Amino acid sequence: MKKSLLLSISFLIVMFLSACTNNTGALIKPNENSMVIHIKNNANFDFYSIEISTDGEITGGISYADGSEIRKGDT
């Protein structure tokens, strides 16, 4: 349970920090104690945020600071 909670919190922190960068160059390399998930928008409809829920216990969300839509092709 603690390991799952720690992994979920770590995932959310990585997602929030990666959303704040403007790094279009080299990809972030995970090490043995972390993971990186890249999500590319291939949807044919407009949306403005992404919400992530793990085991129904922890929920986190991502959106652009200016409230603009997440465009098709954005990573």
The model's pLDDT over 26-48, given as tens digits with 9 standing for 90+, comes to 666 777 777 677 778 888 888 88
* Residue range 49-67: mean pLDDT, rounded: 77
pLDDT over threshold 80, residue 66: yes
Q: Which DSSP string do the residues of the chain spell out, in sequence order? A: -HHHHHHHHHHHHHHHHHHT----SSPPPP-TT----------SS---EEEEEETTTEEEEEE-TT-----TT--
pLDDT reported for residue 58: 65
The answer, as to whether pTM is greater than 0.85, is no
pLDDT reported for residue 41: 82
